[in-house]
Amino acid sequence: MPISEPAIVHLLKNKYPLINNIYANYQPIFLIDQMIAMCEFEGIPYQMTPELIDRAWANMFVKDEVIVK
């Protein structure tokens, strides 16, 4: 997957600061797998963009909330 500088800067400055364990080993692999799956599903070339990072990131973390039954 081609890596773009704006995508890496977005990831390091805007995404990783949101979590406590900023350099967990599983995260980059999971994000790339998610971006590859999105590109394949949408029929677009493999790419790493801030928009795809945001979408893959949304699949990685859930909002901490109380669920009332």
Per-residue pLDDT reduced to its tens digit, 5-60? 888 888 888 877 766 655 555 567 888 899 999 999 999 999 989 999 889 888 77
Report which residue type is found at 23.
Answer: Y
Helix then strand then coil, % of the chain, to nearest 5 = 60, 0, 40
Count CB atoms within 10 A of the CB of residue 11.
20
**pLDDT given at position 53:** 86
Q: pLDDT band at residue 61, thresholds of 50, 70 and 90? A: low
This prediction has a pTM of 0.65
Q: pLDDT band at residue 67, thresholds of 50, 70 and 90? A: confident
Ramachandran assignment for 43, one of left (phi > 0), alpha (psi -120 to 50 degrees), beta (any other): left
